[in-house]
Amino acid sequence: MAEIKTIGVLTSGGDAPGMNAAIRAVTRSAIYLGYRVVGVKRGYYGLVYNEFEELTSRSVSNIIQLGGTILKTARCKEFLSPEGRKAAYDNMTKAEIDALVVIGGNGSLSGARIFASEYNIPIVGLPGTIDNDLSNTDCTIGYDTALNTIVEAVDKIRDTATSHERLFFVEVMGHMAGYLALNGAIATGAEAAIIPEKETELDQLADLVSRGFRKSKNSAIVLVAENPATGGAIGLAERVKREFPEYDARVTILGHLQRGGSPTAADRILASRLGAEAITALRHGQRNIMIGIRNGEMAYVPFTKATSMSMSVKQSDIDLVKILSI
């Protein structure tokens, strides 16, 4: 195995609060152990188009508290093709980058998995996404902050929902995962969560209405995971207008505000621990794994297992929303 001298680091896909804390931890842990660190700008785009910058321990000063990512991020179409990945590999080789740390969500780590299967490069991934859609890790960097943003917003919506005795559909992000909607519902005392994981088994809107959700209460908030299949919050509100016109429904789409803001303490600590562990893992010859966290302990998860989407929301959490909203 070739000796690693220089480690590249990039952030890819949707940004997530805590990515900067992860970049800082990767950079400083690597420098502490004698490696050179190169920041790759705009995710895989920077690999394909040669956008590199040397990172020193001062380059990552004062960023632990910042949302977004100082390295910028992108969804790079070129990297989806073999030609794009070949260009990325050639550029990495020219820049003498011997190993890579990729911080991103399911799509980004799937890209890392494919790249690592084609070229002999040690790659370690860090779960960085608000969606929490990676398997074999208890949570991802950015998820806790996004959840807290949702809680703050929904608490405010509750005030007006109660005053006007209205039904609100609040749409949250999550790509194809319902964690933000479900745990957001538990944390805000919402009446229901409509999530993609249940979509094939149940007409969740009809189920909600059949439970008589609004009869004895003066407001109702339903957290809806974004989902093209149901049309999200707008689609459900339109259905309510057509099928249950007695309800006065309103829609709020939280959108990209969920991706911003200063990371919570939990996200900063998670990012710092995972970032440092990525360097330890590379130092010990590990490759093609994601560093996850399970029951408080670091876990080395092969890319195939991390991106398998085998995780699922807990039925007991779905039940909890129902039980606690009677």
Which of 99, 100, 173, 181: binder of ligand F6P (CB under 6 A)?
173
Which of 76, 88, 121, 130: binder of ligand F6P (CB under 6 A)?
130
Residue type, 48: V
Q: Min. distance of Cβ 253 from ligand F6P in angstroms?
A: 12
**316: exposed, middle or buried (C-beta count within 10 Å: 0-12, 13-18, 19+)?**
exposed
Which of 7, 8, 12, 14: binder of ligand F6P (CB under 6 A)?
14
Residues 69-88 that bind ligand F6P (CB under 6 A): 75
Which of 17, 91, 131, 221: binder of ligand F6P (CB under 6 A)?
131
Q: Which of these, 167, 310, 146, lies nearest to 239 by C-alpha position?
A: 167
Per the annotation, the verdict on 131 as an active-site residue is yes
The yes or no reply on residue 129 touching ligand F6P (CB under 6 A) is: yes
The yes or no reply on residue 149 touching ligand F6P (CB under 6 A) is: no
Piece of the chain touching ligand F6P by CB under 6 A; list 113-121, 126-134, 183-191, 298-306: 126-134
* Closer of 129 and 252 to ligand F6P (Cβ): 129
* Closer of 130 and 290 to ligand F6P (Cβ): 130
The yes or no reply on residue 13 touching ligand F6P (CB under 6 A) is: yes
Q: Cite the DSSP H helix spans in 119-142.
A: none
Residues near ligand F6P (CB under 6 A), total: 12
The yes or no reply on residue 174 touching ligand F6P (CB under 6 A) is: yes
The yes or no reply on residue 105 touching ligand F6P (CB under 6 A) is: yes
Which residues have C-beta within 8 Å of that of residue 74, sequence separation ≥ 6? Answer: 12, 42, 43, 44, 45
The yes or no reply on residue 43 touching ligand F6P (CB under 6 A) is: no
Residue 14 per-residue DSSP state? S
Cα angle value 55/272/127 (rounded, 5°) = 95
Which of 85, 113, 158, 259: binder of ligand F6P (CB under 6 A)?
259
Piece of the chain touching ligand F6P by CB under 6 A; list 78-86, 169-177, 217-225, 239-247: 169-177
The yes or no reply on residue 42 touching ligand F6P (CB under 6 A) is: no
Q: Which of these, 242, 283, 223, lies nearest to 31 by C-alpha position?
A: 283
In what order do the strands lie in the sheet containing 52-55? 52-55, 36-40, 6-11, 99-104, 123-127, 289-294, 297-302
CA–CA distances in Å: residue 81 to residues 8, 40, 308, 320? 21, 19, 21, 44
Piece of the chain touching ligand F6P by CB under 6 A; list 33-41, 128-136, 214-222, 240-248: 128-136
Catalytic residue among 15, 131, 133, 267: 131
Residue 261 per-residue DSSP state? S
Residues 187-246 that bind ligand F6P (CB under 6 A): 226
Which residues have C-beta within 8 Å of that of residue 100, sequence separation ≥ 6? Answer: 7, 8, 9, 10, 40, 92, 112, 121, 122, 123, 124
Catalytic residues: 131
